[in-house]
Amino acid sequence: MGYHHGDLRAALIRASFELLAEAGLSRFSVAAVARRLKVSSAAPYRHFPDRAHLLSAVSATAAHDLREAMVAAVAQNPDDGLAAAAGAYVRYVVGTGAGIHVIFAAELYEVADDCRRDQTRALMTTMLELTRSDVRLLEATLAVAHGYSSLVLEGFFTKDSIDDVVQRATDAARALQ
């Protein structure tokens, strides 16, 4: 295996997103990430003690980046913020493979990670603000956005562009309000 020049920790996180987008959470492994980077299978363990800790770092990054994508979408559509956020969710998850199922993966509950906790809290606070603290509306909007994302990732929308699916998710989220 080759020696990785540069910031291996950051490269591991980036490669994790690639793997999640291609193979999903169930097929995500530290060994697969190492193979992708052409480093030894032991190299990731210099930065992360196990799969859960690597996934926790990915989760923190995903929560941060997803929140940023949602905030940007809302800024472009302030009168239709929640629907815009739903569309941003679909676009982000299809591009990265990392949505709520990764950000709040059950295996991460036992991992002590202040960065992940802070980023997920910020994401949920933003989403609650968009729903004016209506938890049921938040759940419904997430269900719609995550459902459309999952359908894209599972190959259901073979004839539709991502823009078409984002528009459907946006329309569906708007209908919930």
Tell me the angle at which helices 81-96 and 51-76 cross, rounded to the nearest 10 degrees. 140
Determine the pLDDT at residue 1.
45
Q: How far is CA 11 from CA 29, 103, 121, 138, in A?
A: 15, 19, 25, 33
Q: What is the pLDDT of residue 26?
A: 85
Q: What is the pLDDT along the chain (177 residues), one digit of tens a residue?
A: 444 557 899 999 999 999 998 888 888 999 999 999 999 999 999 999 999 999 999 999 999 999 999 999 999 999 999 999 999 999 999 999 899 999 999 889 999 999 999 999 999 999 999 999 999 999 999 999 999 999 998 899 989 999 999 999 999 999 998
Q: CB of 39 within 8 A of CB of 4?
A: yes
Here the tokens at position 9 are 């920790």
Q: What is the pLDDT of residue 2?
A: 47
pTM for the model: 0.91
Going along the chain from its start, the domains and CATH numbers come out as 50-176 (1.10.357.10)
The per-residue pLDDT for 15 is 95
Q: Kindly tell me the number of DSSP H helices and DSSP E strands found in the chain.
A: 8, 0
